[in-house]
Amino acid sequence: MTGPTPEQAEHERVRFLAGVTESLAELLDTGRAADRLARLVVPRLADWATVTVLAGDGAPGRTARAHRDPRRLADVDTYLAGRVAAPRDQAALTAALRSGEPVPVDPVDLDLGPEALPEGPVRDAWRRLDPRSGLLVPLQARGSAFGVLSLVCTGDRPPLTPEEVDLAAQAARRGALALDNTRRYGRQLRVAETLQHSLLTPPPERAGLQIAVRYRPAGSHALVGGDWYDAVAQPDGATLLVIGDVTGHGVEAAAAMAQLRSAVRTLAYDSPDSPARTLDRVDRVLSGLHTGTLATALVARLELPAADGTRTLRWSSAGHLPPLLVAPDAAVRVLSSPAERLLGTQEPARRSDQQTVLRPGEAVLLVTDGLVEVGRQDVDTGMARLVDALHGLGGLSADALCDRLLTRVVPDGTDDDVAVLAVRLLPD
């Protein structure tokens, strides 16, 4: 049987490399990208392979693996978990990382000393894997080496040919670029999460009130957004409640959220006023500083208690979801608000205040749209589902109310951030 013609071989090579690029380009998780790269090169270039991404910039180190025989994966895992780095291993690895070129290992030493392989299951797994030759290919992108692709040939399979070594190097270059993108994405995600969590502080303790807050970031395949909450004790004794959502995702959204949150709490504390006028002043700041920030927000002001223990709640919504009132008897009411413009739109229309009276035992709930648009459902459907989920939770503490609600609505996480703020008036 004759082999493929040069033209056929070249076509197959190009198709293989294109498949590597296409398969990895869509991934944003380093672990998944490393796992897919290992599976792409087996069995085309090796009988088994590992992809090691070194730790750095606060990210954990990762090792992915693949074997042409799925029954041998347990042996690969046993070997990887129990091996001990020996000088002979480090020399080849260091040479690959420093030179940026593939380093062949031929033959592989089947009888590694105890300094590299402990006796027992680890050594037994190594022998069953039957490595005969190998190739260490550095993973480097943008001038930096950050890992290695290790290809292992077993049994009677000959060492890689020069053409296969070149193909492995090209596949590693494409894989490294994709992996570096996931690492950069991960760093950005960690920065955004750190910034966001640093700003989402615990609520103040207020006499006669239970205040609970929750923040749940988006799932691993979506960037952190700009959801935030805030609760501030006002100089006149009132309590300011704020919830909002900056458009966009990632570090930019988290930074914009930080600016907006600071503006709202500073302006509201310095000059206690109605929620609508507070939002008007925030709009003037955003416009004057040309921040380019666009966000929904709801600002509410819970007044001091009247003689009968009730409290007036005043609020104004900048395109945000309305508050929900949860009564001890399990009744749930949506406190409807007129649809008014988002923050940052620079439209001239004035904002309006709404108000209601809260009685002891009642709770008011503020949420962001990540809790409503679960599964990409529309707002009306999501609000109806949220109201249903709140039934039977009216007698709970503010903390328990938040926890039970999240369990009912988003037990497995969500594709968007979720922020929740609940305030319950303590009964007499």
Classify residue 26 by burial, with Cβ atoms within 10 Å: 0-12, 13-18, 19+.
exposed
Domains in the chain and their CATH numbers? Answer: 6-191 (3.30.450.40), 203-425 (3.60.40.10)
Question: What is the mean pLDDT of each successive set of 10 residues along the chain, which is 428 residues long?
Answer: 78 89 84 93 95 71 90 93 64 79 85 65 90 93 88 94 94 91 74 62 88 80 69 92 84 74 85 89 82 87 94 95 92 87 81 94 94 83 92 90 92 79 91
Which stretches of 161-249 are DSSP H helices? 162-199
Backbone Cα Rg of the chain: 29
Instruction: Report residue 238 CA to chain centroid gap.
Output: 35
The predicted pLDDT at position 330 comes to: 77
Tell me the pTM.
Answer: 0.61
- Rounded distance, CA 348 to CA 351, Å? 9
Spatial CA neighbour of 65 closest among 125, 137, 139, 149: 149
Sign of CA pseudo-dihedral 107, 152, 79, 138: positive
The predicted pLDDT at position 78 comes to: 92
The predicted pLDDT at position 104 comes to: 92
The predicted pLDDT at position 220 comes to: 47
The predicted pLDDT at position 250 comes to: 66
The predicted pLDDT at position 395 comes to: 85
Residues 6+ away with beta carbon under 8 Å from 425: 208, 209, 309, 311, 358, 359, 360, 361, 362, 363
Write down how long the chain is.
428
